Amino acid sequence: MQFSVIFEAQLADPTVVHEHQVIHDCVEQAVLAEEMGFDRVWAVEHHSLKWYAHMSAPEVFLSYVAARTSRIRVGHGVVCMPFNFNHPARVAERAAMLDLLSGGRLDLGAGRGGTAQETSLCGVDRDRTTQEVEDALRIIGRAWQNDELEYRSELIRIDPHPILPRPRQTPHPPLFLACSRTETLVQAAELGIGALVMGFAGPESIAGMRRVYDTARAERTGERFVSTVVNDHFSVLCPTIVLDDRAEARRIGIRGQRFFAQSIGHWYGGAGIPDEAVVDGADEAAEMRRAAEQVEARLHEQSIPVRPTATATFNADHAYGTAEDAIAYVERLRAAGADEVMCLMQMGTVPQEACLETLRQWGDKVIPHFTGRSLADGRPQDADARAETASDRKISGDHGGVAG
């Protein structure tokens, strides 16, 4: 098992002063995550999603974190790959520079950035996003395979050009795809890249998604691989707040998750009102159920199909409570097939001290339960040492640290 932290940079009170503080708070959490023995930090890329995600330039955030740390891996979870967001050659250049400067610590995930709010900002054709993401992954997968990159498809043409600099990891950092649906899980497996499973539905849903991913892996022929190296790493979301006081941890965590759910719902058809999530309720779980019903009703009113993921974000059964509760929940995720749990604690209404204490509790109690290594035993291997143990990993090639 591996353990990571994922950042959206959410804030319930989106003033400039608070926004600036939240970004610095995320850096503080990332630095502490390394001290607590976490393997990786992930940062999203979203645009214009007020409340939900103020992490519009994750490459800058991750570079800053890499400079403040020495061991922990830094991951794009994810880069918006449609061409009007980021030209794939520019993604390759930025990724190589960060991988080089971090000492080979980068992981690179791809996503669509699919809200109308985001695509309208950059003039993205929403009907082309799936194919543009796949083209971008193919371009990145072959950018350093030869002295010059040349690529042609129905959507993009790149005449021969060198892509500079070259990354530290050979031939490139591990590749991932954001997955929330059956189609994207199958796509990731067929492309030979890892899955970043962002769902809130819980371990049973994760087990079903793992079966879909493994079935597609077993049936793939390799014809659609985007690179000469294959990454079969399966990372899953784990919302968590861990404190000595179980009731307080659940209150803070569920309230934060309600903000998360309603803030993203706000940008999908206006199906959520962020201000509602800021108010404490007497029964947070009941409030979550009520909010989910409201979202479903609003989607029906607007004739928007209600997919299971539309209300899964309101499921409150996660790693909220004591360290023992978190251990029990991660055991369920491990049984469901998770190679890595991505801890989500930075939700818009969660105080910074609760995030920091959660990181400490995971480092002191949760992670050692699964690794058999306490903080007193020393830190995990650094990137160079990990690269020497490629035979122990599920990934072909020198990918420095992603393992099953």
Residues contacting 87, CB < 8 A, separation 6+: none
Report the candidate in 290, 402, 276, 360 with the shortest Cα–Cα distance to residue 34.
Answer: 360
DSSP letter at 126 equals G
Beta bridge partner(s), residue 234: 195
Could you tell me the two tokens for 132? Answer: 């543009």
Sign for the pseudo-dihedral over CA of 199, 123, 81, 14 = negative
Q: Which stretches does DSSP call E strand in 130-222?
A: 149-152, 157-161, 175-179, 194-197
- How far apart CA 74 and CA 325 sit, in angstroms, is 27
Q: Which of 54-58, 283-287, 332-336 has the lowest mean pLDDT?
A: 283-287
Instruction: Report pLDDT for 400.
Output: 43
Q: 378 exposed, middle or buried (CB, 10 Å; 0-12, 13-18, 19+)?
A: exposed
| Residues 4-22: tens digit of each pLDDT | 999 999 999 999 999 999 9
**DSSP state letter for 74:** E
Return the DSSP state at 366: I
The residues that bridge with 53 in the sheet, in sequence order, are 49
Is 113's pLDDT higher than 70?
Answer: yes
**Predicted confidence (pLDDT) per residue in 255-314, tens digit:** 999 899 888 878 875 655 555 545 555 566 677 766 666 666 666 666 655 555 556 888
Between CA 151 and CA 129 the distance in angstroms is 18
Which residue, 26, 21, 31, 27, is CA-closest to 9? 26
* Tens digits of residue pLDDT in 196-238: 999 899 999 999 999 999 999 999 999 999 999 999 999 999 9
Task: Please check the confidence at residue 247 and state whether its pLDDT lies above 90.
Answer: yes
Average pLDDT value for residue range 51-78: 97
| pLDDT for 70 beyond 80 | yes
**Residue ranges of the domains in the chain?**
2-246+322-392
Distance of alpha carbon 195 from alpha carbon 176, whole angstroms: 6
Of 387 and 373, the one with more pLDDT: 373
Measured in Å, how far apart are the chain's first and last C-alpha atoms?
A: 7
**In this structure, what token pair is assigned to residue 262?**
């309603």
- Where helices occur in 268-397 by DSSP H, the ranges are 284-301, 309-312, 323-336, 352-361, 367-371, 383-387
CATH class of 2-246+322-392: alpha beta
Poorest-pLDDT segment among 37-46, 106-115, 356-365: 106-115
Residues in the chain: 404
Task: Determine the pLDDT at residue 266.
Answer: 81
As a whole number, the mean pLDDT across the chain is: 89
Determine the residue type at 142.
Answer: R
Average pLDDT over residues 91-115: 96
Of 265 and 250, more confident: 250
pTM of model > 0.85: yes
| Tokens 């659940």 sit on residue | 250
pLDDT value at residue 286? 73
- Environment class of 183 (CB within 10 Å of its CB; exposed 0-12, middle 13-18, buried 19+): exposed
The torsion angle over the Cα atoms of residues 218, 219, 222 and 223, rounded to 10 degrees, is -170
Average pLDDT over residues 340-358: 97
Q: Is the confidence at residue 341, as pLDDT, over 60? A: yes
Lowest mean pLDDT among 163-167, 235-239, 258-262, 351-355: 258-262
The Cα–Cα gap between 362 and 383 comes to: 22
SS3 199: coil
Report long-range pairs for 144-152 (Cβ below 8 Å, ≥24 apart).
144/92, 144/96, 144/171, 144/172, 145/171, 145/228, 149/89, 149/92
The runs of H, that is alpha helices, within 220-351 are: 246-267, 284-301, 309-312, 323-336
Q: Has residue 78 got a pLDDT over 70? A: yes
Please give the residue that has the higher pLDDT: either 301 or 242. 242
